Amino acid sequence: MTTLPLLERLLASSEAMLRAADAEDWEAVEKCDQERRALTAQWPDELANGLPPASIERAKALIDDCLRRDAEVGTRVRARLNELRVLLREPQV
């Protein structure tokens, strides 16, 4: 798979993961995470190797979008873990 379609699939997976986290569907979050890991395993060693400049800019934008969604997912996951720690009476992080 070429770089841009791979990154577009990664972004779609990040968006699905965020929707699942918003819905507190933690099994779906885990499934999306597994899908993302499989996608990243397909990345070429040189992600932007051979891409024209316009495609490199698109690749950067896709990566930035993925990182933003990942940060949002991380916030929701940490909040859920803190809720569970309260139930288990463990210190919060």
CA distance 59 to 53: 10
Short-list 40, 34, 27, CA closest to 67: 40
Looking at the structure of the chain, the number of domains it has is 1
Per-residue confidence (pLDDT) for residue 1, from 0 to 100: 59
Domain-embedded: residue 93: no
**Where residue 46 sits, what CATH number does that domain have?**
1.20.58.380
Residue 44 lies in a domain: yes
Is the pTM higher than 0.85?
A: no
pLDDT at residue 84, as a whole number: 87
Domain that holds residue 14: 3-88
Place 93 in a pLDDT band, splitting at 50, 70 and 90: low
Residue 70 lies inside a defined structural domain of this protein? yes
What average pLDDT does range 39-52 have in this prediction?
A: 78
Mean pLDDT across the chain, nearest whole number? 89
Cβ pair 67, 36 in contact under 8 A? no
Dmax over Cα atoms in the chain, in whole Å?
54
